[in-house]
A = this chain, B = another copy of it.
Amino acid sequence: MQDMSEQEFLRSYDPGRYPRPSVTADIVVMTLYKGTLAVLMIKRGGHPEKGKWALPGGFLQAGEESAEQAAYRELREETGIAETRLRQLATFSDPCRDPRTHVISIAYTALVPEGQMPLFTAGDDAADAALFRIGLSDGILTLHRDGQTLAGGDLAFDHGAIITCAVQRLRGRASYEPDAFELLPDDQSFTIFQLKRVHEAIFQRPLDAGNFRKWFTRGYVKPGKAVATGAHSTQAGRPAALYKLIQD
């Protein structure tokens, strides 16, 4: 054994010697829906947790892809979303979180621009897909759609905890990273107040218009991360200057 070369070792290596867990990539897809932060959930059509709402995601193809690649693939297959940026959130590995066997979930977040969420049903594992508005205060997560409110038992696996984690991360990042711009309908043409509404949805509290303008000007316009296009919006009220985000 000790005298083997690395090549000999690898030829004789048996990856099945130890029991291995299954690994999934799950994605918390968030968008703005009617002015509030919402998450995409898929109603499970098969066992386990049949009939409960779950995050999009699926099993990683071992040896073929990374968890991030699996997340992109599952997102495309289950929701049609292809043009988005995934960020790794955290990994959930409690051996009892899935009743089938030990299933580890590597969770990602995705932000979809307001109004650009494709809401068709797809995938043989998905009977239904829907956006649920997110409420999170004092660590208590609530999900609702129309009159319906999801209780703890309506959510599959530990996906409620994953969503909570994702919203907290988004709130933490939005103050100092340009994540919120990904929720704008168009980050190449937006007004300061559109951006303010996005931040209000993320933090679930009203922001002062003048102070928000200062924050945006200081942090984005002055350092050249965003510039006024010269065009103006035409809506109710005085026309607003349109800005575009500069891609790095």
| Size of A's binding interface in residues, CB under 8 A | 40
Q: Say yes or no: is A34 at the interface (Cβ < 8 Å to chain B).
A: no
Is A93 in contact with B19, judged by CB distance below 8 angstroms? Answer: no
Q: Say yes or no: is A120 at the interface (Cβ < 8 Å to chain B).
A: no
Is A19 in contact with B63, judged by CB distance below 8 angstroms? Answer: yes
State how many angstroms separate the Cβ of A78 from the closest Cβ of chain B.
Answer: 17
Nearest residue in B to A48 (C-beta to C-beta)? B6
Q: Say yes or no: is A142 at the interface (Cβ < 8 Å to chain B).
A: no
State how many angstroms separate the Cβ of A57 from the closest Cβ of chain B.
Answer: 14
Q: Which of B50, B63, B101 contacts A21 (CB 8 A)?
A: B63
Given A13-B100, A47-B9, also A20-B93 (CB < 8 A): no
Q: Give the residues in chain B near A4, CB-CB below 8 Å.
A: 47
State how many angstroms separate the Cβ of A47 from the closest Cβ of chain B.
Answer: 4
Kindly identify, within residues 59 to 104 of chain A, every residue whose CB is under 8 Å from any CB belonging to chain B.
59-68, 88, 90-91, 93-95, 99-102, 104
Q: Say yes or no: is A10 at the interface (Cβ < 8 Å to chain B).
A: yes
Q: Say yes or no: is A22 at the interface (Cβ < 8 Å to chain B).
A: yes
Q: Give the residues in chain B near A46, CB-CB below 8 Å.
A: 2, 9
Q: Which of A18, A20, A66 has the most CB of B within 10 A?
A: A20
Given A4-B47, A18-B22, A91-B67, also A102-B10 (CB < 8 A): no
A19 CA to B59 CA in the complex, in Å? 10
Q: Say yes or no: is A42 at the interface (Cβ < 8 Å to chain B).
A: no
A residues within 8 Å of B by Cβ? Answer: 2, 4, 6, 9-10, 13, 15, 18-23, 46-50, 59-68, 88, 90-91, 93-95, 99-102, 104, 106
20 contacts between A and B (CB under 8 A): A6-B47, A10-B99, A15-B22, A18-B22, A18-B59, A18-B62, A19-B61, A19-B62, A20-B20, A20-B22, A20-B62, A21-B63, A23-B93, A62-B95, A63-B102, A66-B94, A67-B91, A67-B93, A67-B104, A104-B106
The 10 nearest A-B residue pairs measured at CB: A9-B47, A15-B101, A67-B93, A21-B62, A19-B62, A20-B20, A63-B102, A91-B91, A66-B93, A62-B102
